[in-house]
Structure 1
Amino acid sequence: MYRGYMMLMLALTASHASSLSVSVQRHTDWWQESVHYLNGYCDLPIDKTYNVGQVSVSLVLDTPSDSIQVWKLDVSSVNSDGTQYNMHNKYYMHQGVERVDFIIKYTGSNIPTGLCVTNLPSAGTTTTTTPSTTTTTTTPSTTTTTTAPPTTAPASTTTSSTGNDVYQVPVVKVEEPWGGGSSWTFKAKCTFEISQTWPPETLPVDLLFNQETSNIQIWKMNVLGDLNGMLYELTNRYWVSPGTFEFSFIVSYTGTQSNYPAGSCVSDISPGTTQSTSSTTTTTTAAPQTTTTTTTTPSPSTTTTTGSGTSSTPSSTGHNYPLVLEKSILFYEAQQSGALPSNHRLDWRGDSALGDSGVNGEDLTGGWYDAGDGVKFNLPMATSVINLALGLYQWKDSYAAANQLENMYNSIKWPLDYFLKCWRNDSQKYYAQVGNGDIDHAYWGRPEDMTMSRPAYYLDSTKTGSDVTGATAAALTAGSMAFLSKDPSYSSRLLESAESLYVFAKARQGTYNADISDGAKFYSSSEYRDELCVSAALLYKATQKPGYLSDAISVYNSYSPSRWAYDWDDKSVLCDVLLYDITKETKYKTATEGFVSSYMPGGSVTYTPCGLAWRLEWGSLRYSANAAFIALLAADVGIGNAAAYKEWAMSQIHYMLGDNANDFSYVVGYGSSYPLKPHHRGSSCGPLNEVCNWNNFNSPDPNPQILQGALVGGPDQNDYYVDARDNYRTNEVACDYNAGFQSAVAGLLHFHINNSLPAAPTPKC
């Protein structure tokens, strides 16, 4: 035994006398010549929810090591010989057993053993067990699992031994390698027998080769990371059902045609009743196949490896909220107009509408396309940003827990930057729309190929439109609040623009219907005082200037809204919530409770047989999602029966995620069955170099591009839904559909990680 090991252990156990220590467990170890690797783990019993950085773990080994790759933890320090790694949690940790996986590189002949010494309270035993399901909400998958060398690898080059509970299958060649010289590519597959259902992003597989590879292309799986092209950490992209699960991949390598890589796929899942390497393919998802392409470029950090940041939520929630947040943010990337940023993640999108400009040549590029079309309508876009920014402001911890905080900031900054371009305080001109609705709707194709006229519509001192200007002022203010801790300078810039735009909106009261009739043809505004109320209330929250609160109360008292819905047109109930949060006056609470009660069972809103609160056919899901968002906001500020509001909101969001008679998710890319033909121009097109036109619209085939995260319009009042591209009422997508929905999911995750979310309700169907 390494002589310093006992001294280290004595010192650590003395300093953590009442804390928890667990033994290092071994998945596998393997070596190539003098380089050795151990894939191990520690199972940590977590007694409650811990914030980022609150859990410390010291990995103490009895053998010196060279380096570590670790998931879920950040390495803060390491001693000189690699026998002690001091780490802390990089994500939230929640009650249950949290598995911490790592790969140790070492050069000695003895396989390292050791302990994970933590600051967690002692559970009375250090026996570690592997649960059938994990309870983490913030990691790339439920576990980061084992590595093993290829079963067909030549004994002279790679040798391995495996630990307990390892399910290993060989890589099977599907096609002969193709290429020439020393550069070759081949296709292979791995086949597992699965004994249980695995939701997306929860089935861990390590793909290991006996030589370096590159440019992996893989179906059905997401690549979370790789180690020099020899080890790929994978997780399932779609639901996997019990039975034969097979996934294929293509990799490149250097060598000869006959000397192609051999390898294994390894997981610590429980195998099915039989293990098979049959070539029979069983499709486990209704989704069309897509390809993930990665390269073997290592991560900038050689000591830590992280995946996409998605995870599975505890079974008590019933659905993977972090994954839903990630996918919804991706939907907004699909809607981006203008010169795309370097961090854009969709390879089927490119720069578009680079000529968008005002009447005097003002730059109006950027922003979001409204729905399945290419117009930029500011009224619904501003409403979307209000809902998203408030969700981020109110429940920032949800995005942090889902490892999506940076993506979320990037997401809402895109339209906020556009709004800064739309409002020209120096010339007192506000641009409310870019693109003509009729001209745009006569075109079917990708936005990158648009050549039609895209006029800009504006308001000035001669026109009214305090609905769209008030909404934009509110969006800028909500954005300022959300960015205050992230980027104070940018937050101040947003607030300055919001305040001057609010003055403009207040001075020119009225709807924009008459002065921007093209916008009103598609988004006719019924009222403007709701937007003025929301913008004034938010400005008060952001600045604490009494005049804004006086304005909000005055405009609130000047009209009597129906509160029929909360949507892009009617924001009255949001003003109720904001004013109650500010003043705690009963009348605002009563109005909010009346709205939420109207959507809950027994209220005035119709219900489908399977439990969806169904207000209107056109975009039916948007209304129940928005009402769920309001209910969760209300619960968070002390309005109504919080437990009942949360449970009802869960029932609506879960219906959309698949808790319905058909087990059908209305969110594209989430679940095992979801819309394949959403009414969306860009995703209906093939690769960027292919022609796309009305033939694509009329095609019976699924959209070539998966519009990840998009919430479609939804079913009729009998739960009936047809996945048809030509039905824009039920199958179109829109920025405002996703906004309230995404923030409702963020609210549910917030309450879950703070241990105040009720158990998931039982679906009605």
Structure 2
Amino acid sequence: MTLLSWSVIEYSAKYDAAGELGHVRDTIKWGADYLLKTFNSTADTIDALVAQVGSAATAPGSTQPDDQYCWMRPEEIDYPRPVIECQSCPDLAAEMAAALAAASIVFKDNRAYSRELLHGATTVWNFASDRAGNSSYLHRVIDSNLARQAGAFSAGKDHGVFSWDNKLPGAQLLMSRLWLFLSPGYPYEDMLRTFQSQTSIIMCSYLPVFKSFNRTKGGLIQLNHGMPQPLQYVANAAFLASVYSDYLEAADTPGWNCGPDFYSVEVLRSFAMTQIKYILGKNPLKMSYVVGYGQNYPKHVHHRGASIPKKGGDRGCTGGWHWRDSKEPNPNVIAGAMVAGPDRHDGFKDVRKNRNYTEATLAGNAGLVAALVALSGDEHGLDKNTMFSAVPSMFPSPPPPPAPWKP
């Protein structure tokens, strides 16, 4: 939800031009409304929130009916799905705060709903940080100790890998945005400039010339180091590279430096476009990894609702295995869904039971949508003003001019 909202805030005009603005807003509202139901969003303080609904088998060979063992359409589920609460889960709560806060900007035209979302974001943020009040938000962003503790400046193997489990590259890019467009000055300047420098390094790491990440022979960057399900990471990187190139262009900056070498914004767009084209079919297998796009796409997506026909969904927990293990194509085409993707050798197995190839996820598809809208059209189409419009003025208001002097 955070990533979708971010893309709408940046590119609402592009969504509108494609006739998809209403659709994506409905999707964000669906997710935001769900999050609001996981805690007492009308309260100012909470002591718990719902961390998970349902469970999965924890021991190999378990036959306990749950979301992992059973294969059923959502409408047919009849086994217990316990609600699991947490009293100390700051990472989850902070993610929820980000999603709700971002959605509140998307829906700023609906003042009542936007306020509801913002209040919920504040409540769950206080739960995450164990600290009330909003006067310190901006100061906490530029807290160098907090940034170091979060690993913002570390050079580990996942540095710059934007994913469901690592939001730091996105946060750093947003701080670059704040620096580029608002030039806040003291006491923010030094730390925001550091974030900008880190963002530049991340963008350099995406370029093949630096070999920071391996690539398949077909050219797919291996941001998850050859592990399964690579496309969600690739789509996210394509979005970050696209939006950063738009930031630079909107700030009248033609490119950025990687050490002593200068690279134009077109290099970033080229990287993003190459990766998205791979996903859409320009790869050794000529396989589109987006269902319904092109002629050759996965037909056995790891998705319960798509794999079970309407009149075949009453077989129970294990009876659904018939559909899971069937070699027939899914009876329901889950159009637009990006699957997990190929292996590190550009190979792909269109097998429903093998989620490493055929699973479709919300996290992956959010990045794909964001990247596609960022790359669409001939102009960058960026909304420079909305994102940080609520940030208070960085400088005191100047005094009024003196009255006209008269002799």
User: Does TM-score exceed 0.5, indicating one fold?
Assistant: yes
Q: Per the alignment, do residues 550 and 441 of structure 1 end up closer, same or farther by CA in structure 2, a change over 3 Å counting?
A: same
Structure 1, unmatched stretches of 5+, are 1-384, 509-535, 540-544, 757-765
CA–CA separation in structure 2 for the residues paired with 1:413 and 1:675:
29
Which residue, out of 203, 209, 219, partners 1:596?
Answer: 203
1:73-152 mapped onto 2 (5 Å cutoff): none
Residues 356-376 of structure 1: per-residue CA shift (max 9 Å, x gap): xxxxxxxxxxxxxxxxxxxxx
* Match of residue 387 from structure 2: none
CA contact (8 A) 1:620 1:730 kept: no
Cα distance in 1, alignment partners of residues 151 and 34 from structure 2:
33
1:472 partnered with 2:123: no
C-alpha distance in structure 1 between counterparts of 2:276 and 2:94, whole Å: 29
Aligned residue runs from structure 1 range 284-295, under 5 A: none
Determine the structure 1 residue equivalent to 2:395: none
Other-structure match for 2:366: 739
1:385-433 per-residue CA deviation (whole Å, 9 max, x = no partner) reads: 1111101111111211110111111111001001111121545321121
Post-superposition CA distance 1:515-536 (Å, at most 9, x none):
xxxxxxxxxxxxxxxxxxxxx9
Once the 2 structures are TM-superposed, how far is the Cα of residue 559 of structure 1 from its aligned partner?
3.7
Work out the CA distance in 2 between the residues paired with 1:559 and 1:673.
Answer: 42
Structure number with higher helix proportion: 2
CA drift of 1:698 comes to 1.0
Q: What TM-score results when the alignment is normalised by the length of structure 1? A: 0.42
Q: Check the 8 A contact 1:466/1:506 in 2, yes or no.
A: yes
1:708 deviates by 0.8
Counterpart residue identity of residue 455, structure 1: P
How much has 1:492 moved relative to structure 2?
A: 1.3
How far apart are residue 755 of structure 1 and its match? 8.4
Partner of 1:653: 276
Q: Distance in 2 between matches of 1:684 and 1:728?
A: 13
After TM superposition, give the deviation of residue 597 of structure 1 in Å.
2.1
Q: Which AA in structure 1 matches 2:171? A: C
Q: Indicate yes or no: 2:48 matched with 1:429.
A: yes
User: Match for residue 556 of structure 1?
Assistant: 147
Percent sequence identity over matched residues? 32
What does residue 68 of structure 1 align with? none
Q: Which is richer in strand? A: 1
Q: Helix, strand or coil for the counterpart of 1:700?
A: coil
Could you say if the C-alpha distance between residues 404 and 755 of structure 1 is closer, same or farther in structure 2, counting changes exceeding 3 Å? closer
Kindly report which structure 2 residues correspond to 1:441-590, keeping only aligned pairs within 5 A, or say none: 441-460=68-87, 464-485=88-109, 487-507=110-130, 547-554=136-143, 555-561=146-152, 562=156, 563-584=159-180, 585-590=192-197
**What count of residue pairs does the alignment treat as equivalent?**
333
Q: 1:619 aligns with which of 194, 210, 229?
A: 229
Change (3 A) 1:580 1:699: same
Q: Could you tell me whether the CA contact under 8 Å between 2:179 and 2:196 is conserved in 1?
A: no
Tell me, yes or no, if the aligned pair for 1:576 and 1:588 is still in contact at 8 Å: yes
**Compared CA separation, residues 564 and 755, structure 1 to 2 (3 A):** closer
Aligned partners of 2:271, 2:345: CA distance in 1, in Å? 19
Match of 2:378 among 752, 762, 765: 752
* Larger RCO (CA under 8 A, 6+ residues apart): 2
Q: Is the 8 A contact 1:619 1:737 kept in 2?
A: no
Over the aligned positions, Cα root-mean-square deviation in angstroms equals 2.1
Larger Rg over CA atoms: 1
Supply the distance in 2 between the matched residues of 1:436 and 1:410 (Cα, whole angstroms): 28
CA distance in 1, matches of 2:11, 2:311: 37
Q: Give every structure 1 segment of 4 or more consecutive aligned residues whose post-TM-superposition deviation is greater than 4 Å.
A: 753-756
User: In structure 2, what is the equivalent of residue 404 of structure 1?
Assistant: 20
> Which whole-Å CA distance do the structure 2 matches of 1:753 and 1:689 have between them?
48
- The residue type paired with residue 668 of structure 1 is V
Alpha-carbon displacement from aligned partner over 1:110-162 (angstroms, at most 9, x marks no partner): xxxxxxxxxxxxxxxxxxxxxxxxxxxxxxxxxxxxxxxxxxxxxxxxxxxxx
Q: Which residue of 2 aligns with 1:50?
A: none
Secondary structure at 2:208 match in 1: coil
Preserved contact between residue 422 and residue 431 of structure 1 (Cα < 8 Å): yes
Residue identity in the other structure for 1:430: L
1:177-205 CA-partner distances (Å, limit 9, x unpaired): xxxxxxxxxxxxxxxxxxxxxxxxxxxxx
Q: Which of 324, 327, 344 is matched with 1:717 structurally?
A: 344
Superimposed CA distance per residue, residues 489-539 of structure 1 (whole angstroms, 9 cap, x where no aligned partner):
21111011101111110018xxxxxxxxxxxxxxxxxxxxxxxxxxx9xx9
SS of alignment partner, residue 285 of structure 2: coil
Q: How does 1:669-680 map to 2 (within 5 A)?
A: 669-680=292-303
Q: Deviations over 1:214-255 (max 9, x none)?
A: xxxxxxxxxxxxxxxxxxxxxxxxxxxxxxxxxxxxxxxxxx
Rounded to whole Å, the distance in 2 between the matches of 1:689 and 1:625 is 34
Q: Residue 651 of structure 1: SS of its match in structure 2? A: helix
SS in 1 for 2:136: helix
Residue 615 (structure 1) shift: 2.7
